[in-house]
Structure 1
Amino acid sequence: MIQLDRRQQLIVLLLVGVILFSGGYRLAQIKEKSSEKVKPALDSAEQNKDKEVTVHVFGAVAKPGVYKVSQGARVIDAINMAGPTGEADLDSIKLAAKVTDGQDISVPSKAGLDPAAVGVTPGTSTSTGTGRNVFTAPAGAKSGAAAANGLVNINTAGQSELDTLPGIGPALAQRIIQYREANGAFQSIEDLKNVSGIGDKNFENMKDKITVR
């Protein structure tokens, strides 16, 4: 058996301590790297959850309501969740646009009655057999809320009359009425764009069919 003097024993103990310290330090590094690999995965899952946005889909859909979609989803994704009806005029919407949190997505319905279906040409008058001529307004205008020229008066029209306008469904018609009740009569037809859900595209489609007189 090798006999070591005190100095040699101290050297051996020092070497053993260095080896143990190095091993422990290396083990700590391995554990730290493993935790770093797990953390990004957890953070990524949490971030994906936070990246959901909330949108309101209404109009010509089977299930209007509030939906959660992933951030970066397109308008068509939200509309498909609500189920577009056969009357939905999807061509008038920017389906490829990205949704934003809190966005209102109004799905317009297709234009009103086809004049050919009732056998009357819009803007003509027909005899009633009583000596009076009755003016037949173009599709999209109704009596009572319509002016003499067949335009829908957005200051007096009810939901059913507003619903006949291109791009306006029952939900959006109700919004127009609610806005009118809260803010008073529209001063110009352009004020209609102040109603949530009515953009420039919708307004262009109906501006020739409405009045505030």
Structure 2
Amino acid sequence: MTIHITGKVRDPGVLALPIGSRVVDAITAAGGIKKGADPGPLNLARRLVDGEQIIVGLPPPPGSHPITAPATTNILSLNSATPDQLEQLPGVGEVLAQRIIEYRDTHGGFQSVEQLREVSGIGERKYAEIKDKVSP
């Protein structure tokens, strides 16, 4: 998988990492966090998604969704949400949150919100309840 890491790391840029890598692995591959810098709100244990950008120690650009968006965010990114954040969606519990993450990991992320229909346990009614609360 390929990710882009930027911000307060020693060697920012585009990196190729093994599937299943986590944020901490990307930071390590980028030479680690610069001396005196703080990773900020990043969840260092979160699995990476192919093609994502990780911003270390800096606020996200205006209009973007932070990698570790709080559960209260109006629009939740399917490609970066944690299980706890997914569980905040209507009708999504622990099992369904895990299925969404497994789908994301298996398919290299969500290209569209409509792909939620392919996740086992999401029927038309549940899809209708959450489609406007998420983005790819």
In the superposition, the TM-score normalised over structure 2's length comes to 0.47
Higher relative contact order, structure no. (Cα contacts within 8 Å, ≥ 6 residues apart): 2
- By percentage of residues, which structure has more helix? 1
| Bigger Rg, structure 1 or 2 | 1
